[in-house]
């Protein structure tokens, strides 16, 4: 899932884990800088600081004019 920081005035603390492989300070720095990042999970304490980015996927199919 992709996440982003909810509020730049309330950054993510360095003790939270977003990857199944373990703690990653680089990832937390990217989140705090305002970037959207791909993560494995969001813990309950982390949900206070970040929100999931919803992607709008268009349904497949042909455009109206094609036959």
The contacts of residue 66 (CB under 8 Å, 6+ apart) are none
pLDDT (0 to 100) of residue 55: 76
Asked if 40 and 52 count as a contact pair (C-beta separation under 8 A), the reply is no
Q: Is the pLDDT at 63 greater than 90, yes or no?
A: no
Look up the pTM and report it: 0.77
Q: Where are the domains of the chain?
A: 2-52
pLDDT (0 to 100) of residue 58: 67
pLDDT tens digits for range 4-60? 999 999 999 999 999 999 999 999 999 999 999 999 999 999 999 999 998 776 666
């Amino acid at each position: 899932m992709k996440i982003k920081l909810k509020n730049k005035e309330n950054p993510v603390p360095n003790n939270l884990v977003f990857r199944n492989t373990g703690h990653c300070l680089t990832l937390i720095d990217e989140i705090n800088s305002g970037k959207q990042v791909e993560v494995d999970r969001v813990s309950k304490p982390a949900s206070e600081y970040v929100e999931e980015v919803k992607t709008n996927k268009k349904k497949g199919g042909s455009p109206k004019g094609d036959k």
